[in-house]
Amino acid sequence: MSKLIKEDIDKFFIGQFDAFENSLNGESKKPLHAKRKQAIDNFKALGFPHAKHEEYKYSNIAKIFGKLFNVENLSDDSFSLSLDEASRYFIPELDAIRLVFVNGVLDNKLSDMETLPKGVYIQAIKTAADDYAEDFEKHFNTHEIEGADNFSELNTAFTNGGVFVKIEANAVVETPIACYYFNDAKNADVISQPRNLVIAEKNSQASLIESYVTLGENTSFTNAVTEIVVEDDCVFNYYKYQNESDQAIQVGATMVHQLGKSVFNGVTLSLNGAMLRNNLNIAIHKEHSETNMYGLYLLDGKTHVDNHTVVDHKVPNCESNEMYKGILDGQSRGVFNGKIFVRQDAQKTNAFQSNRNVVLSDDAEVDTKPQLEIWADDVQCSHGATVGQLDLDQLFYLRARGIDKQTAKSMLLNAFASDVLSNIKIEAFRTLIEGKINERL
């Protein structure tokens, strides 16, 4: 396999778009395709982000893509994932609306959407663009947001296999929506680019879980985008779980538009992968909104996780809270880059940001950069970051009471992670994550 350089990667994806466009029969005049074409033109202008891009200086995705991905071994989309095989990766004991994607495409046979709760509408994004044309015109790739980058443009250009979810006004959906993304890399390298649009109408409540898995030893590249529109008096809970293979490269953008007075809660959990980049971009458009973001990355081996978050306070009297924690062992690397913007009109904003890391080995590395940009003068904002080792006094205290070293270490790290895990409101999901963490510790 010859090593790809950035220019090769750019040409590859542009060629892929030409082939994709030729496969779309009768769609060239539809509004969705106009957005695809605009997006690929935007991508051509800057290409695949690389290390000279300020936002990717610690995560050279072009380099690792060129090293791991073999375009000559690209899958022809012939895959055969059975329900039995997929079910091994479902969250145990979870009663959920199950959506299964294989190589970025919604698989109706593996999904379970036959009996949707009242007020919930789910459809493949390709057909929903016609059936819900008004919603698409209003919300699909329409709202500008800080933090969007060229990977999002690339994803928009290939919009085809994702899902559209609409929570009707006043619907309180007790059953979470669980999205399982499988990359079938058993026989070849895989690219998947799921694109989702979720609309929570006024006075609704819902929860969404996104879980990513790569099967097989070949390389996968996932470039996923989920847009979430939250209207007045909504409560929306969002969870992202990544326990990928060692050959998995993933770039994901979650773009949240709090258009109404609302509450958004997000939890990101990253355990394994070659390189995982998470962009969580949130724009607050309405007064008296609340935004909460939590993250935990528990890394070993050579896993590289990069969390980029943006909260854009555009209006007054809102609050955002952010807490990300990392536990790093082996040769792993964690990156945290969090930005909070407080615009001139956003008086009386409360915004708090924290990133704390425990490094367990000499070869693990952390780069952390919390940032505040404030134009208003009547606000309460703070940020902070720490990188350190386990507290030896606490370790000694436990060992002095007859607890062996490994157990004592595990107890301290579990306590460190608990601040994040306690914000997982779905019991079956929290139990799964706690089990995975205990296996590691």
Backbone angles phi, psi at 36, to 5 degrees: -60, -45
Residue 273 to residue 291: CA distance in whole angstroms? 28
Encoded tokens for 361: 């080995």
Nearest to residue 296, comparing CAs of 118, 422, 121?
422
List the pLDDT tens digit at each of the 441 positions of the chain.
456 777 888 899 999 999 999 888 778 788 999 999 999 999 999 888 877 888 898 998 888 888 888 877 787 766 778 999 999 999 999 999 999 999 999 999 999 988 899 999 999 999 999 999 999 999 999 999 998 889 999 999 999 999 999 999 999 999 999 999 999 998 899 999 999 999 999 999 999 999 999 999 999 999 999 999 999 999 999 999 999 999 999 999 999 999 999 999 999 999 999 999 999 999 999 999 999 999 999 999 999 999 999 999 999 999 999 999 999 999 999 999 999 999 999 999 999 999 999 999 999 999 999 999 999 999 999 999 999 999 999 999 999 999 999 999 999 999 999 999 999 999 999 999 999 988 887
Contacts of 422 (CB under 8 A, 6+ apart): none
Give the Cα separation of 346 and 258 in Å (integer): 15
Distance CA 288, CA 233 (A): 10
Distance between CA atoms of residues 51 and 67, nearest Å: 14
Whether 49 and 151 have beta carbons less than 8 Å apart is answered as yes
| 233 dihedral zone (left: phi>0; alpha: psi -120 to 50; beta) | left
Q: Which two tokens stand for residue 188?
A: 């070849």
pTM of the model: 0.95
